[in-house]
Structure 1
Amino acid sequence: MDFFQTVFLALVQGITEFLPISSSAHLILVPVLTDWPDQGLAFDVAVHLGSLVAVIVYFRHELLRMTLAGLGSFRGQWNSDARLAWAVVLGTIPVVLAGLFAKSYIETVLRSPLVIATTAIVFGLALWWADVTGRKVRTEDTIGWRTALFVGVAQAIALIPGTSRSGITITAGLMLGLTREAAARFSFLLSIPTLIAANVLIARDIVREPGDIDWTMTLLGAAVAGISAYYCIAFFIRLLSRTGMLPYVIYRVVLGLFLFWVFW
């Protein structure tokens, strides 16, 4: 890939990873719509690693408290941070299991523009419904094992391209009465172990089938994805109370209809 393609794809990953519009769908569609060469596994690892660093840096203070509180829970010392830490652990289990058992099927059968069009519209409308009807009164401190498991199962469904991991987990949180900000923050915290697991799986494939890696473009992609992801998280959470989910729902429906028009 050249400089422009690298920066463009890295921006796509960084911006769409945490917005409820599906990063995987956009990374699949860009080469299809532009006839660019496939970016390769090494680039995928790099941009996902950049997004991972961004969310860790953004939530560094919360993560430190959660880690210490989670360790303290082994000594019987429970508080809201410990419960949130274990909620993240529990919420990650469904997507790890789904990824291990369904990875090959998803990557071969479901990477279709028509699948992406369908999931973009269906789960976009689900996000709108949850935002309109959700009570939006609960904070992250109220998240227990039932909420964590429900959101975790939703996250596993997001392995289907076009669903959007952040979109469906925020939808699930809103359905259970979380505020927009709480649903988004829990979604982003859940992304940390999920991104780690995804990077490990993709890195394993690279080790099995090593190829030529353009390290300059790969590192550039990681940096651009990380910086754009960090600011995307910050602005998204800050604007949620004012914009709600409707702009992202409209975007998803328009994207889905466009894909049906192009590929039907």
Structure 2
Amino acid sequence: MMNFFPFRLLLTFCFALMIQFNNSAQPLRVAVAANAQDVIKKLQVDFKKKTGITIEVIIGSSGKLTAQIMNGAPYDVFLSADTEFPAKLYAAGFGSEKPKIYALGSLIICGNTKGDIKNWQKLITSPQTTKLAIANPKTAPYGKAAKESLEFYKLKDWVEKKLVYGESISQVNTYIQTGVVNVGFTTEAFLYENSDKSKLKWTRVDTKTYSALTQSVILLKHPKGNQLAQATKFYDYLSSASARKIITANGYHLPKQN
């Protein structure tokens, strides 16, 4: 009777090699808040050039991505538009180390309007502004910041009927670009993403009127082995001179380095 043991052993060895190959070939899964969807494309290219590691980007609102991670989504790194959601993940045991701030954002109000955008508080309460876009404050940090600013100026009730909510800041940007709304609250980085800025008027919202938009990154516990090494490389890369240069060139400010 033929002994199939060596053949079985060979098959097991080949199968193990295939699994290892598939794991190593799997792209790094990076969940990214919608406000950073443009800058992540540039970071993605630069990181691959430097390391050879491919990144698969998943875009969404910070709140929705956090919910997905807590429900088992197999992401390796998460770039949020705030510190609150990553801190929540870390406290719940989903992070391998404390989150760190990688960029500082700023809120603007922007749109294709004939009104005086500099005096935006008066503009949004005037009859000429019929629709005002804002991201969902519950899931999008830039939406939360916009709500805080409206409340600071005691304008929330005045404009409630005019508000058009976007699922994420990306949807708000679409509303602004397509003229669905007169004006909208968005990130300053939007100005760097939009190729046709000439039609848009914009102004910064006073930073004293909303909580700081400190954008954090967290290394998640999901990756193992080679995937963990790659995730750690990207996590560390965000603090590199090369990454910081790309971040500042796309409408963000930088946190102080220790």
- Which structure is higher in strand share? 2
Q: Same fold (TM over 0.5)?
A: no
**How does the TM-score come out when normalised to structure 1?**
0.28
**How does the TM-score come out when normalised to structure 2?**
0.29
Pick the structure with greater CA Rg. Answer: 2
* Greater length-normalized contact order (CA 8 Å, ≥ 6 residues apart): 1
